[in-house]
Structure 1
């Protein structure tokens, strides 16, 4: 009998599901992540608290499946990307908490580097090399800009502001852990018992950091040259079928696991896992994850796409053939970092008591009564690419109701996805005819139907929207021979509903999008910026108002 345990560690939840050989869920468990906010703009996770939740959900899922730990045969891991910590793995001393991908502490560094001569010179030189070589690698570097979502400047901020970390670096007693590399180390070493376990991260997690060059498939030398980040600090990058993942140490998950021998068959980032869960195996396939953020990923096959509009070239997945040659599939990604975040904020403000209500609330009015919302708590990504953009409503009048505000919020997050779709179509020359959606927000029928109407594309929602969990499980089965072809995996997908575009609504929706784009101009480059000292006390505030 085959039983697969799949762990998914996201921004808001830690989940474990137990599957059988038919990919049926036998048991599951979920715990909410304790996201810390020690200062405005800081978003952290305390590592040992997270580890306890990981152990808890794995054990609880096995119990709910009415199995014993010894029954579990294979394990898969899916994690959020660009969340990292630094520590001394030998002494288990942490130099800081996990700094998550939503963290904004490096805002000032982002501004300084993007306005500085180093990046400008890199852009100019790279464009010159592109004209000579026509290499996509240099084209991508010619428009390179630093972003908060990547690790680079948040890590540099830690190196500059953490004396304990600086001292540890002098003694070469610190290393950088991505979330996946840290979990793999804890599982494989028995929570630090075996100090000789290697320091590895899967390529799909590494490729999103901003420190990895997807064109050369290695850590970029710019990390050391520009930022002083030595390669030895970073994990060894491995493919998604890495044969030396090994096994979960018998001491990793508690006394019940003492006699277990569970093979780790796959580790993958959440967005690649969602690509697999949505079965976007072919060039031109696209999925949109509607979770804490919205992530559009287009499979570009063997081509590493160089974007001029802020889309990001990534390794979608990588395996090695029998001769150990890397077989690499790429994707291009566009992100809107505020999706579920906006809905959660609106709930906290009292607009509704449950996100499940929002679809009916939005449909209770025919339009927003001239109200528009800009969803940019973390700035606006491609094609706008303004991390200083502010959030807010515009067009509120005495006749504005709660229903109008809720509809404006939902419309705004759809309009951002439409922007991503149009950007990737323009750059890749693909026509997106089918959008496969997953994630918590894809439960919302209003959002899915509006997306279909606004893009003219069919929107497909699977029976299970847990695509990252499913995708990691599919990859486990693929690696261990349970489902050893994409055709066999395709038979497992079940569609719950397809939202067909309604042409009669297209023109009016496009008119609303045009007005919404004008509203964005009022919110661009106008974020009230504050500087905070180490005690959380505001020491300086400045305002930069856009046109």
Structure 2
């Protein structure tokens, strides 16, 4: 039997899972990602510590599976996006730790960029051109804003504050890479300087319509040489390795594919058809929709590349809500539970809930470390219980998803979702899955967790297995998912009640925030 490994480097955890050819997890390992916070707003990861952690979780997973490296055919790689590092091209020494996507040290620069006259002129011209030509490229440009999550403001911060980086940049002796770039660079013995297209598309430096980096003159304007950028390659890394005659191995196992974590999750849910979607509910809430082989643009969504695999290309739209992690922490502080799955038992123990009139409301916010976490409970009475509050928090997840989908349907009425796949720690709660199904009138599908499968790992492993011949086509994953998934069917009897409560929630949110 063939075995495939998958490594998922997330925001909080580093995971490795080993899959058999019949999709069983036979070995698994997980450890925390150590986030360094030397100053307020800074978030870093030590690259040497992370590299050692990757090797450690592989060895632990092999031990758990009672296998050796030679038994594993290949590795699929899934990585968090917009976490990056720079290093010296000659020596390979890095100038700083990984700067994570959650780092906000460049917030002042972001503000300056958004308020600059040049940027306002560009947006104005793009708006006029969009009115004339109605091209998707101009629609993206007219609605674009800089944010702390993007990489460009942090590179500008490095130019201002890291003298060695600035000097070597002038001497054209610097290389830049996202997290996947660094892993592949090290795994190829410093011969490969590439990034997968799904990771590149999330950086804010990528042109979705040319499938390449932004034009050189844009980088020159900001004083960044084009030469620091890695080459963009297919998610199927095997083709890149063959073209460059390079081996790329971790613990003597070849890396066959590389995907951004949300793309790996979309792939792992089997969302291969146009207008299929998944929502990951963990540290953040990520709603991703497969848009097929042509890019779509919708205000409020990030247009991305899901993956490219041989002749298969998937563009996607993504909506992000960074409040979900803090909401679960709030729920934990109100009701004593360790994880969302435990709430299933707590809710079953309650006999009567007074949640018909209780709402949990918080503002829609951009991700920022400086934003105050405001929230309100609407309809609290003397008979309101802690369980009622927990339920209202869970319902707010569903309402926020419905709001995102309603905005999408208003702009793209041709897109109708019949099924919504869910994954992530928050999705282990049955109540929230059923509520999402009820308020959106959409069948919600969640993988049964009896086999310890992490969906991002499954997506990375499956693509790697397709690349190396372990599996032959995508229907094999669909067949497996159809046999194992848990479906939540919308309850149409409560449709009026759900819609009424959603309208009240929406009204209160607009009034308060």
User: Taking structure 2 as the reference length, what is the TM-score of the superposition?
Assistant: 0.89
The correspondence for 2:397, drawn from 388, 413, 429, is 413
Deviation at 1:330, TM superposition (A): 0.8
Q: Which residue of 1 aligns with 2:110?
A: 110
Return 5+ residue gaps in structure 2 as ranges: none
Query: Does the CA contact (< 8 Å) of 1:361 and 1:407 recur in 2?
Result: no
Q: Please state whether the residue corresponding to 1:75 is helix, strand or coil.
A: strand
Q: Which residue of 1 aligns with 2:226?
A: 231
454-463 or 493-502: bigger deviation: 493-502
Q: Aligned-pair RMSD on alpha carbons?
A: 2.6
Deviation at 1:319, TM superposition (A): 2.9
Q: Which residue of 1 aligns with 2:240?
A: 244
396-405 or 95-104: bigger deviation: 396-405
Q: How many residues align?
A: 497
Matches within 5 A, 1:516-531: 516-521=505-510, 524=513
User: Equivalents in 2 of 1:335, 1:311: separation in Å?
Assistant: 8
User: Equivalents in 1 of 2:295, 2:265: separation in Å?
Assistant: 19
User: Equivalents in 1 of 2:330, 2:34: separation in Å?
Assistant: 16
Q: Which residue of 1 aligns with 2:471?
A: 483
Q: Does 1:311 align with 2:301?
A: yes
Q: Does 1:422 align with 2:406?
A: yes
Q: Does 1:266 align with 2:257?
A: yes
Query: Does the CA contact (< 8 Å) of 2:201 and 2:305 recur in 1?
Result: yes
Per-residue deviation, residues 48-84 of structure 1 (Å, max 9, x unmatched): 2222211110011111111112222211101111111
Matches within 5 A, 1:127-276: 127-189=127-189, 195=190, 197-221=191-215, 223-242=218-237, 243-245=239-241, 246-249=246-249, 253=251, 260=252, 262-276=253-267
Query: Does the CA contact (< 8 Å) of 2:184 and 2:192 recur in 1?
Result: no
Q: Please state whether the residue corresponding to 2:307 is helix, strand or coil.
A: strand
123-132 or 293-302: bigger deviation: 123-132
Specify whether residues 346 and 229 from structure 1 end up closer, same or farther in structure 2 by C-alpha distance, changes over 3 A only: farther
Question: Which structure has more helix as a fraction of its residues?
Answer: 2
Q: Please state whether the residue corresponding to 1:295 is helix, strand or coil.
A: strand
Query: Does the CA contact (< 8 Å) of 1:380 and 1:386 recur in 2?
Result: no
Q: Please state whether the residue corresponding to 1:244 is helix, strand or coil.
A: helix
Deviation at 1:301, TM superposition (A): 0.9
Structure with the bigger RCO (C-alpha within 8 Å, sep 6+) is: 2
Query: Does the CA contact (< 8 Å) of 1:202 and 1:238 recur in 2?
Result: yes
Q: Which residue of 2 aligns with 1:536?
A: none
User: Taking structure 1 as the reference length, what is the TM-score of the superposition?
Assistant: 0.84
Q: Does 1:393 align with 2:376?
A: yes
The correspondence for 2:289, drawn from 290, 295, 298, is 298
Deviation at 1:288, TM superposition (A): 1.1
Query: Does the CA contact (< 8 Å) of 2:169 and 2:225 recur in 1?
Result: no
User: Equivalents in 1 of 2:331, 2:157: separation in Å?
Assistant: 31
The correspondence for 1:454, drawn from 430, 439, 449, is 439
Q: Please state whether the residue corresponding to 2:480 is helix, strand or coil.
A: coil
Deviation at 1:124, TM superposition (A): 1.6
User: Equivalents in 2 of 1:238, 1:107: separation in Å?
Assistant: 31
User: Equivalents in 2 of 1:490, 1:406: separation in Å?
Assistant: 35
Per-residue deviation, residues 444-477 of structure 1 (Å, max 9, x unmatched): 1111011111111110112246211111111012
Deviation at 1:232, TM superposition (A): 1.6
Specify whether residues 474 and 305 from structure 1 end up closer, same or farther in structure 2 by C-alpha distance, changes over 3 A only: same
